[in-house]
Structure 1
């Protein structure tokens, strides 16, 4: 009989670094009177419960056990499997003659129950399920030797892998791969969820994530401030501002998108159309005159202003018919800047003279901004700090802004987004798998755990820029606009990917925005306690 997964599927919001989880573990022992042996028994029992629910037919289980507490969890699981008359083999890695504490007690209990222990040489070919209890969260250097060989064999096997606490080889805090890592089908995390499960390469290796707090009292968690908060659209949609029945377009923001160098008209068009779908009252685009006349043919609701290079530079050519037309477009740009409530600067902007001139012109206007793409690259060339902007770099742009390598950004994404906000002010959004949002002040950084690899295609960032800018224009504070916008963007990507991730394009996300917002509005019509 197939059983549903237990309540470990209901994941908490708080994310903790590995050192914090170890501190919580120790606090549970010292302050709550839970012994280390009890925590290990609970971890093994929780893992076995998930195993039975997820693989009810598995009868040939191989447990790879390291010599630490993660291995001890594996011994408990193996004992329970043996007691339930499942076929189980436990293969050891590391110096098991030096086992101590609760791990040694778990190993003895497994052996006393009749379980056998063998050193690992290779995985048996008849394994129906592999349990990774090798290393857990303590790893800081790349795997080598027998450890790397064991991970490689796990990944080459046809059997699914169930990881305890964290796939071996994955860094708990950053989600980077330390040489090689186990590709798990399911991972169960204990006491505190780790950021590396959801960001960096973590989603590639963790599979389905489950959680069990091991009955650690809630009071214990007060001793640690989470490293990040996990957010998603279901939670964030409640923060959308409600529209008054008497609202008009002037109440809902005037967004000016600035970008689109010659040959790059698609980027501002995507940003502008996404902003309209998220509810911006008016959207104008200031773009290169080479394509200004045709940019809105497929979306007439967009206002378009062609800006020649002389206009962007603010020069005054001699009075001719041509210069008169340039003067008209310059006035249109100035009028748009004067009327706009927020500017999205950077989509398709380029870094040549035209793009540099518009960049300087908009920054001089001192308006609330969402800065993306080449706007970020130009910022990296001449850094400055402002409190009224949202920066949305991908790892490559973040590396240029921080003066480091992409590898260094990805090595600790949580630290990278903190440094971005500290150096440049405002709100920083570090895009990628498990996008991170860092605002000013003590508010913990946020991590969006939604989205999919189909979103790795051109134009997705332009759509996000338009979404965040539209939310800013509708009155959300910058950090909330960034958090809600990132989650809405990810949820739209997931909705659009129902027909398949491969071949997903940015326009598909735009089509998914209004249905998601419509559902959110209908949910908001249900009376809440604070409506009484």
Structure 2
């Protein structure tokens, strides 16, 4: 199910491997043969090479034993037919079968194709390398031989060679997006549909550009597993777009609740984030010892002591949205605060130690947005972190269904899931966010967006996307080591 707010042109459909296989098999049955699709794949790939490297004189092609290698053989043949000198590095450890064998037989014996041992790859001088080693079905671990070959490709890439991968960078698990070692691909030409693993965890690290070729595949009218939000969408959609005829009430009232002793900075950053992301009014309920720091930092934020206050009486239903958890802690005070928040009816963002208390609660809250990292997700689902990382979309969806909440599962890219089945991947890796406080800033931004948008899923998508976009800009200006999470708020427009 796509986004309601965002036009379809900004949403890239992503499929899991099972969905791709189903379309592939249906296409084979429709056409009565599978080799024509392999030919189209090779032709499409070769076309992209020529468009980006029009003056190519030499080509190195690394081929594995499967159909991915068959695509590579077709590229080798097409290039040789065009007068390009081709060196094929064959890494197959058994005779080829089916379409891959047909592709190999077509290319073998061509006077401009030289087949070499993969041991010689590291000495190749070609300006363009085709990675046709491992396909979309790869699962770890890599064998020593594949590690050697991928290492050689990456060494040549570091020396200036341009690398294009067939369907996916070899070594990348397209189910999880994990890789211990994979080909650094300047371009990935992926077939039939884009794969979700390209956008998770290590996927964006190895995929610098991705283009999709449909190959005239049969359309089974299957819903994509998820969508990827194209960064260009944010050029048209500010986090909380201002209207000419508006007032502070138009943009809602966000109250941040948290900041136990020693953790005041988290709640202060979250309240500042809510203000700078566009909330009309922002309140902060925190320990009394943090009030002066909060007011000096953000005089526009109404800071109130929650040390002795009855939170339910203090709020009185005036707030549009609550953000509970930044710096909340796990003390007796924290527990009391959480217990009072459970009886409130406002839409609520729960982060950090709020997620800890949520995991211990039997009460089901309404209108929730949860912002866990993988460790917190594991605790909410009573699973091991390793299991969470093996399937982030599934983990996000399970949390969404269990708590009837919109979920932002944070990572190098974030997975946003809704109980109604919507799933969005947003952002790209920004190491500058790998610091304490990044999640607190995000939770405040989610609060502001939730106060503005009618749909919690849309609010979560916009907040996560803008958090990442601003961090990218901040990192480029200040540096990923020096930047601090609160500084990204100055790059929201």
Q: Quick check: TM above 0.5? A: yes
User: In the alignment, which residue of structure 2 is the partner of 1:391?
Assistant: 370
> How many angstroms apart in 2 are the aligned matches of 1:233 and 1:509?
17
Provide the residue aligned with 1:414 in structure 2: 393
Q: Which residue of 2 aligns with 1:265?
A: 264
Task: Provide the secondary structure at the position in 1 that maps to 2:303.
Answer: strand
The answer to whether structure 1 residue 101 and structure 2 residue 102 are counterparts is no
**What is the CA distance between 1:259 and its match in structure 2?**
0.9
Assess if the C-alpha contact under 8 Å between 2:57 and 2:85 holds in 1. yes
Contact 2:397 2:419 in 1 (8 A): no
Which residue does 2:340 correspond to in 1?
361
Q: 1:465 aligns with which of 430, 433, 443?
A: 443
**Deviation digits for residues 45-90 of structure 1, max 9, x if unmatched?**
2222222333445544321111111001101111122223323211
Alpha-carbon deviation of 1:175?
Answer: 0.1
Please list the CA deviations of residues 367-403 of structure 1 after superposition, one character each: whole Å capped at 9, or x if unmatched: 2110001111222233554341000001111111112
Note the C-alpha offset of 1:96: 4.8
1:39-54, aligned counterparts within 5 Å?
A: 39-54=37-52
Cα offset, 1:291, TM superposition: 1.6
CA distance in 1, matches of 2:233, 2:283: 31
1:162 aligns with 2:164: yes
Q: How many residues align?
A: 478
Residues 72-221 of structure 1: matches in 2 within 5 Å? 72-97=70-95, 99-114=96-111, 115-127=113-125, 128-157=127-156, 158=159, 159-177=161-179, 179-216=180-217, 220-221=218-219
Distance in 1 of aligned mates of 2:230 and 2:463: 10
8 Å CA contact 2:62, 2:130 repeated in 1: yes
Question: Where do 5+ consecutive residues of structure 1 fail to align?
Answer: 1-9, 312-329, 516-532
Q: What are the equivalent positions in structure 2 for 1:390-469 lying under 5 Å apart?
A: 390-442=369-421, 444-450=422-428, 452-469=430-447
Range with bigger deviation, 143-152 or 333-342: 333-342
Contact 2:312/2:340, CA 8 A, preserved across alignment: no
Q: CA deviation at 1:283?
A: 0.2
Deviation at 1:140, TM superposition (A): 2.5
**Distance of 2:322 and 2:372 partners within structure 1:** 17
Q: CA deviation at 1:469?
A: 0.9
Taking the aligned partners of 1:148 and 1:293, their CA distance within structure 2 comes to: 56
- Partner of 2:317, secondary structure, is helix
Shift of 1:412: 0.9
CA distance in 1, matches of 2:109, 2:25: 28
CA offsets 1:264-291 (integer angstroms, 9 cap, x no match): 2221222112211222111000011112
- Asked if structure 2 preserves the Cα contact closer than 8 Å seen for 1:372 and 1:391, the reply is yes
Say if 1:385 and 1:424, in contact at 8 Å, map to a contact too: yes
Matched, 1:508 2:481: no
User: CA contact under 8 A between 1:11 and 1:211: conserved in structure 2?
Assistant: no
- Match for residue 519 of structure 1? none
Per-residue CA shift, 1:453-506, capped at 9, x if unaligned? 222222221121111111111242111111121112122122223324342321
- The question of whether the paired residues in 1 share the 8 Å contact of 2:311 and 2:341 is answered with no
Number of the residue aligned with 2:5 = none
Residue 332 of structure 1, CA deviation = 7.4
Q: Does the CA contact (< 8 Å) of 1:260 and 1:267 recur in 2?
A: yes
Is 245-254 or 466-475 further displaced after alignment?
A: 245-254
Distance 1:248 1:34 in 2: 64
Q: Distance in 2 between matches of 1:293 and 1:11?
A: 44
> In 2 relative to 1, CA 242–170 (structure 1 residues): closer, same or farther, beyond 3 Å?
closer
**2:17 maps to 1:15:** no
C-alpha distance in 2 between matches for 1:409 and 1:156: 32
RMSD (Å), alpha carbons: 2.4
Quote the Cα distance in structure 2 between the aligned partners of 1:281 and 1:252. 5
Residue aligning to 1:281: 280
**What displacement does 1:238 show?**
4.6
1:67 paired residue number: 65
| Equivalent residue number for residue 296 of structure 1 | 295
Q: 2:373–2:410: 8 Å Cα contact kept in structure 1?
A: yes
Cα pair distance change 1:276/1:12, threshold 3 Å: closer
2:205, 2:429 within 8 Å by CA — same for their partners in 1?
no
Q: Distance in 2 between matches of 1:437 and 1:455?
A: 18
Tell me what 2:3 maps to. none
SS of residue paired to 1:251? helix
**How far apart are the structure 1 equivalents of 2:25 and 2:68?**
15
Q: Secondary structure at the match of 1:184?
A: coil
Structure 1 residue 210: deviation in Å? 2.3
Report the Cα offset of residue 445 of structure 1.
0.9
Deviation, 1:417, is 0.8
| Deviation (angstroms), 1:106 | 1.3
SS of corresponding position for 2:473: helix
Q: CA deviation at 1:414?
A: 1.2
Query: Do structure 1's residue 254 and structure 2's residue 253 form an aligned pair?
Result: yes
Q: In the alignment, is the contact (CA less than 8 A) between 2:342 and 2:365 conserved in 1?
A: no
Tell me what 1:490 maps to.
468
Q: Is the 8 A contact 2:204 2:428 kept in 1?
A: no
Q: Does structure 1 retain, via aligned residues, the 8 Å contact 2:231–2:427? A: no
Partner of 1:6: none
Q: Which residue of 1 aligns with 2:320?
A: 341
TM-score (norm 2): 0.90
**CA distance 1:374–1:154, change in 2 (3 Å):** same
